[in-house]
Amino acid sequence: MPQIIFLPHAELCPDGAALKAEKGETVLDVALRNGISIEHACEKSCACTTCHIIVREGFRSLNESDELEEDMLDKAWGLEPESRLGCQARIADEDLVVEIPKYTVNMVSEGH
């Protein structure tokens, strides 16, 4: 069973977390199931960037991102080569190390 290590995030998981995951689950679903409240303004439909994560280890083991996800990621704050949307990143057999960025772009909560 793969494991996701979430690096410490001041608000969402100050101590970090090591969580068990099922193959095929999304990183976002694992986080939410374990009390890490990553934003997901579009309800996991790949229509925003609020669940943006950076995969520090295990990036290549994830499913490939599609064109829609790539287009959304272009709008994310702090985009890096190993960025994914948590709602689209499906876990395979490898462990992951994930960083939750400090900021998100949430057009709904920002009144746009």
pLDDT (0 to 100) of residue 19: 98
Asked if residue 108 belongs to a domain, the reply is: no
Name the residue range of residue 66's domain.
3-99
Gap between the Cα atoms of 70 and 49, Å rounded: 10
Gap between the Cα atoms of 38 and 104, Å rounded: 10
Residue-wise pLDDT tens digits, 53-71: 999 999 999 999 999 999 9
Q: Which residues pair with 57 in a beta bridge?
A: 97
Asked if residue 20 belongs to a domain, the reply is: yes
Residue-wise pLDDT tens digits, 61-111: 999 999 999 999 999 989 999 999 999 999 999 999 999 998 877 654 444
Read off the tokens for 74. Answer: 């272009």
Share of the chain above pLDDT 70, in %: 93
Model pTM score:
0.91
Asked if residue 92 belongs to a domain, the reply is: yes
Asked if residue 62 belongs to a domain, the reply is: yes
- 3-state class (DSSP) for residue 27: helix
Count of domains for the chain: 1
